[in-house]
Amino acid sequence: MESINPPESIIEALSIDCVIFGFKDGRLDILLVKHAEGISAGKWALPGGWITYGESVDEAAKRLLKSLTGISDIYLEQLKAFGEPNRFPTKRVVTLAFYALVNEESYSLIPGFTASDAQWFNVHDVPQLIYDHNQILDFGYKHLKHKVRHEPIGFNLLPAKFTLLQLQELYEAILETKLDKSNFRRKLAKMKLLINCKEKQKDVSHRAAALYKFDKRIYVTLRKSGMVFEL
């Protein structure tokens, strides 16, 4: 979120905006905040803010995310800079877009002090946002769709322990497609990326599925020996 009068200590004209994806009940969501002040008060926007003088770009993104939504310690990556001359109304502002993947259920949203609200929206049902934020969001979603097929980042959207069906539904939601259950399992099994937790799902009204976890260290090891993640 970009307030109108940035404090003294920041690099003017350079902001950060975060496209934060969450996943719940088979739906891919996006986190938005409602501005509490300034000319865009009352409008929805991507969470964001200004980079201060003494912090790195990535540190700034982490700090802003934490202060605006209460979310910390998540998968966060730079997306790209958006810098059309007139994208911001009162002056020239270039924004660095980040994108983040979080397990929606692990966090209760805490709107920061310049935001009156923070809320998850279905990625296919997003309101009009301020400035070029809809464009940034679209770019982020396209990026996710592509990247999720070539790198094992999807796991960041799930709880630490998940079932194979949850994983499949995640991919189906992101890629907007249907996958064959049996073939999906076979492929994942062959990759040897998942650890069987030797635990069963609980409180479900059907046969309980085995829980798996993704260990990044395994992936790093497999990568070094030539493994390529493709789905």
Tell me the angle at which helices 133-150 and 164-175 cross, rounded to the nearest 10 degrees: 130
User: Which residue of 86, 205, 220, 225 would you call a contact of DNA, by CB under 7 A?
Assistant: 205
The residue within the footprint of DNA, chosen from 176, 180, 199, 215 (CB under 7 A), is 180
Show contacts with a second copy in window 111-150 (CB under 8 A).
Answer: 146, 149-150
CA atoms within 13 A on the CB side of 77: 11
Residue 28, amino acid: L
Rounded distance, CA 185 to CA 27, Å? 20
Establish if 54 lies at the interface with a second copy (CB under 8 A): yes
Residue (of 137, 196, 189) closest to 163 by Cα position: 196
Interface residue with a second copy among 58, 67, 134, 135 (CB under 8 A) is 58
Give the tokens for residue 8.
Answer: 């003294």
- The verdict on 96 binding a second copy (CB under 8 A) reads yes
Return the residue of 78, 204, 215, 216 that touches DNA, per CB under 7 A: 204
Residue 63 interacting with a second copy (CB under 8 A):
no
Q: Name every residue whose Cβ is closer than 8 Å to that of residue 110 and which is 6 or more positions away in sequence.
A: 69, 70, 118
Output 5 or 182, the one with its CB closest to DNA: 182
Cβ contacts of 212 within 8 Å, gap of 6 or more? 161, 162, 163, 164, 167, 194, 195, 196, 197
* CB of 37 or CB of 58, closer to a second copy: 58
Residues touching a second copy, count (CB under 8 A)? 26
164 binds DNA (CB under 7 A): yes
- How far is residue 145 CA from its own chain's centroid? 12
92 binds, among DNA, a second copy, none (CB under 5 to 8 A by kind): a second copy
Interacting residue ranges for a second copy, rule: CB under 8 A: 11, 13-14, 51, 53-58, 60, 78, 80-85, 92, 94, 96, 146, 149-150, 228, 230
Interacting residue ranges for DNA, rule: CB under 7 A: 163-165, 180-183, 185-187, 190, 204-210, 230
